[in-house]
Structure 1
Amino acid sequence: MLDRLDVLVIGECVADIVRLPGAADQVHPGGSPANVAYGLARLGGEATLLTQLGPDGDGRLIRDHLTAGGVRVCTDHSTAPTPSAAVTLDDGGRATYTFEITWTLAAAGSGPTHQHVHTGSIAAVMEPGAATVLDAVESSRTASTVSYDPNVRPELMGDHATAVRRVERCVALSDVVKASDEDLAWLYPGEEPEQIAARWQATGPALVLVTRGADGAFAVLPGGRVTIGALPTRVVDTVGAGDAFMSGTLHALASRGLLGADGRERLRAVDADTVTEVLRHAAASAAVTVARAGANPPDEAELKAALDRFRGGRPVV
């Protein structure tokens, strides 16, 4: 049972415009931080999203989607258009994105504290809004644990060296970091993911998790490293897979009392067996998501069924 995780997610919403040959465009609510907030709410968490939404049809679509899923949406009343991304899928369902986005998040002022704060993606690197995000994260660390997912979008990262410095600052502020092997390859070309993850973990986080697509995932923790293989599933598309992995991770950690200021020391002492279960939990969440169109993460019942099927030696979906 989830320990009713109270989480503040700070970051962008994006209207994902999925384009398939011979078919009309399909618009899905998206944006990595928004997807994480939605995934947490689906799993029983109390999720608040601090974001920007334009006064347009895409903004109304996204707000309605998030609110219906149980997310409390807070915006800074920006008049900029809602960010969008044209999503193209290859034959294997892998997504590539072309963005139209601005990020000018204004300071939200003081508000209630939250058990956990999550951020990442475009919001943590694109100025001028990134400065607001980092200030909010830094001011939250006393009362909250922090998680971060760089979710690298090369065309939006700006100067490479500057982007790396910003990512590393976010890593050092975090208790839990999740990245894909593709993220790490862009940030540190030619370096092994295991070496990067270990270096990141040494700068502050208790856990650094790395997803490797069909090759599974691994985590670096103070006592070493654990690895899991990929969970068997069929792939419709990969949109939102990493975000479902992130929300599944936070759900699993919260259910074990490892998040929040009072859980930080337990998180730093976490053992390999527990982290292995967390990875399986997160991978099952991602596996459900890739088996259906768009960023559509599981609810609690769907996640439990996926885990039961996997433990019984059957495909997740």
Structure 2
Amino acid sequence: MPERTDFLVIGECVADIVRLPGAPDRVHPGGSPANVAHGLARLGHEATLLTQLGPDDNGRLIRAHLADGGVEVRTDGAPDPTPSAVVTLDGEGRATYAFEVTWTLGPVALDRQPRHVHTGSIAAVTEPGAATVLAAVDSLRTAATISYDPNVRPALMGDHAAAVHRVERCVALSDVVKASDEDLDWLYPGQDPVGAAERWLTTGPAVVLVTRGGEGATAVLPDGRVEVGALPAEVVDTVGAGDAFMSGALHALAALGMLGAAGRRRLRSPARDAVGDVLRHAAASAAVTVARAGANPPDEAELRDALGRG
């Protein structure tokens, strides 16, 4: 039985309005950090999401979805509308996004110290709420390990140079960073994504995970790279695939005792076969998610089954 880890995820919820040609719109609970929290809870962990949810239909839908999945939701009580995104899918299930988002998160007192903190996406770079996120991460990182996923949304990133600076500041605060090759290509146009991840590694993280869609994933470590291929899957859509990869990776790291202050030393000098195991769990989690509609990550039994098929 994998170790149960107390996770705090800080970040946005988004109502994903999924649009397919010739079909009625479908509303799915989403938002990258919210998806990660949901994925962790489905994998048997204690997950708390610190976020903002409006007093509207989308907010009630997302709150119920997270509660049903076992996520404890904490908010700052702000009455802003729940963020939304129109997700347009092409014929191969690839998603593009148009956002209507405000992020004004204020400080919220915590009643316990988490073992691990995850953040990323809009919440870590959009002011004024990003200042609250970074202050919380900075205050918690001595007693907790930190993970970060930039989950770049170009339409919301503002000035490119300023966005790169904000992302790099988050990377430097983190122990584990995950980014897609598309994220890295936007941040560093024309540069090799894995090479960019190797530069990130020198600024603070113990490991940087780079996802490459159908080509698999790469873990960048101080002593080199570990790679795995993507698991075969019949793709319905890619919504939430990267978030499922992240929750699957954190689940595996927890099982290996590599999270929390006590696990940081092991995380800083991991065995290569252990890192390969982390990547396989993450890839299997993503494969389950892309095979069904919306951000719908696996539970423990589904993840074990996917690993067995892979």
One fold, TM greater than 0.5? yes
Following superposition, the deviation at residue 90 of structure 1 comes to 0.5
* Partner of residue 292, structure 1: 292
* Partner of residue 249, structure 2: 249
Following superposition, the deviation at residue 108 of structure 1 comes to 1.1
* Partner of residue 19, structure 1: 19
Query: Aligned equivalents of 1:193 and 1:131: distance in 2?
Result: 27
The answer to whether structure 1 residue 146 and structure 2 residue 146 are counterparts is: yes
Following superposition, the deviation at residue 22 of structure 1 comes to 1.6
Query: Aligned equivalents of 1:76 and 1:194: distance in 2?
Result: 37
Following superposition, the deviation at residue 223 of structure 1 comes to 1.7
Following superposition, the deviation at residue 23 of structure 1 comes to 1.4
Query: Aligned equivalents of 1:155 and 1:18: distance in 2?
Result: 18
Question: What one-letter code is carried by the residue in structure 2 that aligns with 1:74?
Answer: R
Question: What one-letter code is carried by the residue in structure 2 that aligns with 1:23?
Answer: A
Counterpart of 1:137 in 2: which secondary structure?
helix
* Partner of residue 41, structure 2: 41
Following superposition, the deviation at residue 110 of structure 1 comes to 4.7
Query: Aligned equivalents of 1:277 and 1:9: distance in 2?
Result: 23
Alignment deviations for residues 225-274 of structure 1 (CA, whole Å, 9 cap, x no partner):
11111211110000000000000000000001000000000100101111
Question: What one-letter code is carried by the residue in structure 1 that aligns with 2:101?
Answer: I
* Partner of residue 159, structure 1: 159
Question: What one-letter code is carried by the residue in structure 2 that aligns with 1:307?
Answer: L
Following superposition, the deviation at residue 109 of structure 1 comes to 3.1
Query: Aligned equivalents of 1:13 and 1:40: distance in 2?
Result: 15
Alignment deviations for residues 65-100 of structure 1 (CA, whole Å, 9 cap, x no partner):
000000000011111100000000011100000000
Please say which of residues 192-201 and 60-69 is displaced more in the overlay.
192-201
Following superposition, the deviation at residue 55 of structure 1 comes to 0.2
Counterpart of 2:239 in 1: which secondary structure?
coil
Aligned length: 310
Runs of 4+ in 1 over 3 A off after TM superposition: none
Q: Would you say the 8 A contact 1:36–1:243 is kept in 2?
A: yes
Question: What one-letter code is carried by the residue in structure 2 that aligns with 1:159?
Answer: D
Query: Aligned equivalents of 2:199 and 2:25: distance in 1?
Result: 42
Query: Aligned equivalents of 1:169 and 1:2: distance in 2?
Result: 32
* Partner of residue 135, structure 1: 135
* Partner of residue 86, structure 1: 86
Following superposition, the deviation at residue 111 of structure 1 comes to 3.5
TM-score (normalizing by structure 2): 0.99
Q: Would you say the 8 A contact 1:223–1:272 is kept in 2?
A: no
Counterpart of 2:35 in 1: which secondary structure?
helix
Counterpart of 1:112 in 2: which secondary structure?
coil
Give structure 1 stretches of 5+ with no counterpart: 311-317
Alignment deviations for residues 127-154 of structure 1 (CA, whole Å, 9 cap, x no partner):
0000000000000111100000000000
Query: Aligned equivalents of 2:230 and 2:61: distance in 1?
Result: 33
Q: Would you say the 8 A contact 1:218–1:226 is kept in 2?
A: yes
Query: Aligned equivalents of 2:131 and 2:273: distance in 1?
Result: 37
* Partner of residue 56, structure 1: 56
Question: What one-letter code is carried by the residue in structure 2 that aligns with 1:290?
Answer: V
Counterpart of 2:152 in 1: which secondary structure?
coil
Listed as ranges, the matches of 1:117-266 within 5 Å are 117-266=117-266
Following superposition, the deviation at residue 2 of structure 1 comes to 2.0
Give structure 2 stretches of 5+ with no counterpart: none
Query: Aligned equivalents of 1:188 and 1:202: distance in 2?
Result: 16
Query: Aligned equivalents of 2:253 and 2:110: distance in 1?
Result: 27
* Partner of residue 313, structure 1: none
Question: What one-letter code is carried by the residue in structure 2 that aligns with 1:96?
Answer: T
The answer to whether structure 1 residue 283 and structure 2 residue 283 are counterparts is: yes
Question: What one-letter code is carried by the residue in structure 1 that aligns with 2:126?
Answer: M
Q: Would you say the 8 A contact 1:175–1:204 is kept in 2?
A: yes
Percent same amino acid among aligned pairs?
Answer: 75
Q: Would you say the 8 A contact 1:120–1:149 is kept in 2?
A: yes
